[in-house]
Structure 1
Amino acid sequence: MTGFVDKPEPAQVPGLTHVHTGKVRDLYRNEDGDLVMVASDRVSAYDWVLPTEIPDKGRVLTQLSLWWFDQLADLVPNHVVSTELPPGAPAGWAGRTVVCRSLRMVPVECVARGYLTGSGLAEYEETRTVCGLALPEGLVDGSELPAPIFTPATKAEVGEHDENVSYEEVARRVGAETATALRQLTLAVYSRGRDIARERGIILADTKFEFGYGSTADGADGTAGDELLVLADEVLTPDSSRFWPADQWEPGRSQPSFDKQIVRDWLTSPAAGWDRHGEQPPPELPAEVVERTRARYVEAYELLTGTRWD
């Protein structure tokens, strides 16, 4: 297991208790019991959180998630309570902070795939299946699937890989009713996102979601409402999704993407002088790699939202 090259110290903010530092996000809890989620500019690759940050990355992820939550509001409730900065929070948290409902998280990465690539392609090449789902012969890297599929994974700790599992395994772990709801919501949200992205010249190849259970508003008599699944964390961002330019899509090869592939490519190039399978942490990223990566995140935001990044 690996992790951070240099793990940051959490900010000390009156009224907030630090809960967790993840690869990208820092979590705090406020005095009302809500979570305060702050998206940093950290970037991870090959099981390492790198020593170099990508400017504006956390703001892009946060603002794009908020935009998507609005597009999906009629399909599924989300965890957002407020985007106001907590009193005493650092000025640098502006635009990258969301106050969220505290949920009982379902320990499943809900992955939807509309195209074959990545770990799904690797499994398909061996067994002609993905997460136990049989697929047709003749598919290649980048092929569009006959229909989107739900291919869940177990959630991993920092430095560990998520593990693809079958739908039956999800049902065993969380119950048949929850598994059915997760599959239905995941495919519905993916389909909405795919259609919106396609209108903007972007292919949504695959994506992952996280859901948690939260109570509905209390009834008039003061009793608690029923629990329902709520969409949480980030949604349909370059960190959680594979976005491809539609005009460059060409099955049978690796597709250009709106994400940190530039970082991965440099780290595995001779210029980096780094062995991803060794024990040494990765080096600092060159300024040119940082700027190109930032530009890809910003481009994804602008194309999807139709809004100029400032």
Structure 2
Amino acid sequence: MPVLCIDFGGTEVKLGILDGPRILATTERPNSGSDADLDHVRQALDELTESAGRSDIAGVGIALPGVVDRANGSLIAAHDKYGYAQGRDLREWAAQSFGVPAVVENDARAALVGETTYGVAAGTHDAVLITLGTGIGTAALIDGQVLRGVHDHAAILGGHVTVALDGPSCNCGNVGCAEAVASTWALQRDVASDPVLAASPLGERAARGAIGLRDLLETRDAPAVGALFDRYLRAWGAAIVTLCHAYDPDIVIVSGGVMRSADVILPPLADYVHAHLWSSSHRPAFVTPSAPEYSVLLGLSALAVNPGDHAATHRKDAQ
């Protein structure tokens, strides 16, 4: 049965109607950062459902870039993002808007479920995922169970592991987080604060508007940009090493829009991780989704129909 899938991203909201792994229709809306987003989403999904000719919607899946309280269907915390959703019962909103039950999940966990259920790592029971973009999202699957933890924080804060003790402050309150060193928002800070980078081809792009990791990749032949790109690769690699030491996966899934250039990023990233893992640690395979922009929607499709299939051992769920 088709489900409505809502991926609240860092810069836009991605919407879809999915039936299992089949994507029936998709659209996007800008993320305004206000509760008007919910009205825009409801209207967009009504239009999408009508245009697709589907009235047999079975459920709703909602993903957010932050710590999600699945038991209460709300966002606990997402620094500088979606303040209007914190503490709000989004399952109730979905029920009132669409008349069907809903599941709410962290976006990286949803992406992990999507890729291990329908995607590039389908059938894998032990995997970690890292998403590179506006921030750095992570998630882990152990023995076929999504790791969530008693307080819903487990495995999703891998982007906030310290990779530089004297590094920049992060908006999470930590110092030298992988995300504070090597993300889209860190990139914009780096270019603005470095005159050499500001004068580089990357800086020229920044002067014309917002830049992202793809801009870093595409201008890496400039010496200063190449050095920055190498630093970003090492920061991502250090974060993945920590994920591997913590969760011992068979597979590392690297996602995010920049991974459309996986041929440039994945080999050196895998080499870095394999070289820095504990001597007897398993050297995991590295894979990237064929369509990373849809990983979260695929996971929401699976979670909305069979949420119990992906439930980890969780004290709240057992109460």
Q: Which has the higher strand share?
A: 1
